[in-house]
Chains A and B, each alone.
Chain A
């Protein structure tokens, strides 16, 4: 037998083995979608890392009821039109549970499809209120935008005692939701809104906004957006001579924000769900393991997908792996389940209450500044 034909034989045998292998079928497959390409690819990368770390940790600890977890990862490009075919593919492939490591657009589009198919669906960090309203198979393990905006209002008006605030708002659902939450309760904390300036996702040049902010002369700025807008924006504000406190959002919660804004990032505060100085064991372990595995500091997106994966794994452990309805019931029944971003208990809508962590950037790192633990102010909606 020639080398060529024997290698072909081996190849054929391998292919046959790959399809026949029962080992692969033993794994519990969990669907996961994130923006791996496109404008949100940076967050997509963190999202996948957080999820992979969670799966690795869970498998190292013996998996779920003796079976290993396996992530099935799809790219949604942060686009709603990509989410539907992707959701149908997950359902068609027989996956029993899916996690969104993506933004509101695709998550909102997919949520209804998963609910219809009775596939439990957990959104890790998308903030749009309609996501969980798609139905009771849909859960969210992070803050809603409005809730986070309310926390920022309390921080500025109450903790920092700044009463004249200019808002710089990203004109998508993320920015609008944060701004709406802020404005809803601003009056309660004696805050007067000097002006609100909006900008678009693609903007990196904020000369006209800097000029306007100087004209407004506020005592503090509330700035929404993602790190790739916020980094240049904060740097341009500081370079333009704006020295008042800048309060940002969890969209800035990544070392990439500091890498872009550099010295201008010093003193910037954010509302987030990740407390890097927390003494809670799951959080400490997440931060340490993440930095060992990926050699970069952990961020909010990674902590959120890590959290969502733990929630899903616990649902599978308690509800079994075959029946969506039982998995759903198990997830919705979680009480004070401890994960990297706090203790999780779902309300009837599938939302969680969390205390808001206020982090401040000092010495090029996110540090603890305050915790806003106000179950009334930060209550998620129930319908």
Chain B
């Protein structure tokens, strides 16, 4: 029973990683940029969601507002930060991205104060859902539901819609896609929009799960997101999802059995190193 509970805790953590890492994979697949500043979008989503929830009392409103704010910020980051330096080597964009993350962390601190904010009424958090002797709170349940629904919607978009086909064509070869009349710029903006909406929703959910929204909440999850996309096999979507869930479970068990030696983040990166020693191309990546 205890192990089952740890497994569930880990899968829920994995779902939050999946929502973050999918966006990172999209951006990497498209532009070869390690979009660390995705964490800024995540944190913005969390703050907007919290402020709307505390002012209107509506969680639904909070999610919509967070998704919109995040969905707006992401494409703006592309347009004003990444696009002007696309012809530079990838590390230039990475440095810009890290710079934005650090600057925005202090920006959030100046805007919302250093203390962190919590939800005035977090009923999901205090509602326990029991089944078969296990208990989870409603936030954990919703994280799993949101991850499954949003990621399924994404899969449908990518495989069943024209825009999805155009997107996949652009990932494989931007210049050929363009010569077939695909608007590469539109595809890129859409990708940042999708990635950012996922991150914004994840931000609110993690804020609810922690019952705390604070300026630095994005930094750990962003670096871990990078580890996950490497683990999954760079740019490989199913690999990313598998790596997210696996990492969540490894951390959940690891914090209990290795907690005295290594903290949660160290366990995550140790796992990354071990996997890469055996499979340098990542879990589902193709060997080159």
Q: Which residues of A contact B (CB under 8 A)?
A: 37, 39, 41-42, 44-45, 171, 196-200, 202-205, 207-209, 211-212, 214-215, 228, 231-232, 235-236, 238-241, 256, 259-263
Contacts and interface: CB of A to CB of B under 8 A. Distances in A.
A199 B216 CA distance: 17
Interface string B69-97: 00000000000000000000000000000
A203 B211 contact: no
Given A202-B263, A209-B256, A256-B116, 19 more contacts: A42-B116, A197-B255, A198-B263, A199-B264, A202-B264, A205-B206, A205-B209, A207-B13, A207-B140, A208-B9, A209-B255, A211-B6, A231-B118, A239-B137, A240-B128, A240-B135, A259-B118, A260-B116, A261-B211
B2 interface: yes
Q: Which of B9, B115, B140, B263 counts the most A-chain CB atoms under 10 A from its CB?
A: B115
Nearest to A195: B256
Q: Which of A45, A196, A235 counts the most B-chain CB atoms under 10 A from its CB?
A: A235
Given A202-B220, A208-B252, A37 B135 contact: no
**B interface: dominant SS:** helix
Contact of B256 (A200, A208, A241, A259): A208
Contact of A232 (B106, B109, B212, B266): B212
A205 B259 contact: no
Contacts of A37: 106, 109
A208 B10 contact: yes
B217 interface: yes
A260 B116 CA distance: 8
Contacts of B61: none
A232 B210 contact: yes
Interface of B: 2, 5-6, 9-10, 12-13, 106, 109, 114-116, 118, 125-126, 128, 135, 137, 140, 206, 209-212, 214, 216-217, 220, 251-253, 255-256, 259-260, 263-266
B9 A211 contact: yes
A231 B212 contact: yes
A37 to B, nearest CB: 6
Q: Which of B12, B118, B255, B260 counts the most A-chain CB atoms under 10 A from its CB?
A: B255
Given A200-B263, A228-B212, A239-B137, A260 B256 contact: no
Q: Which of B2, B106, B256, B266 counts the most A-chain CB atoms under 10 A from its CB?
A: B256
B187 to A, nearest CB: 35
A203 B264 contact: yes
A198 B260 CA distance: 6
A171 B263 contact: yes
A200 B266 CA distance: 10
A105 to B, nearest CB: 16
30 contacts: A41-B109, A41-B114, A42-B116, A197-B255, A199-B263, A202-B220, A202-B265, A204-B212, A204-B217, A205-B206, A205-B209, A207-B12, A207-B13, A207-B140, A207-B252, A208-B6, A211-B2, A211-B5, A211-B9, A212-B2, A228-B115, A228-B116, A231-B212, A235-B211, A236-B211, A239-B128, A256-B116, A260-B212, A261-B118, A263-B126
Contacts of B252: 207-208
A231 B211 contact: yes
Contacts, number: 102
Contact of A197 (B12, B212, B256, B265): B256
Q: Which of B13, B137, B217, B263 counts the most A-chain CB atoms under 10 A from its CB?
A: B263
A47 to B, nearest CB: 12
B137 A260 contact: no
A188 B260 CA distance: 25
B119 to A, nearest CB: 9
A155 B5 CA distance: 32
A238 B122 CA distance: 13
Contacts of B2: 211-212, 214-215
Nearest to B128: A241
A204 B209 CA distance: 9
A239 B125 contact: yes
Nearest to A231: B212
A256 B125 contact: no
Contacts of A231: 116, 118, 211-212
Contacts of A232: 210-212
A263 B263 CA distance: 29
A260 B119 CA distance: 8
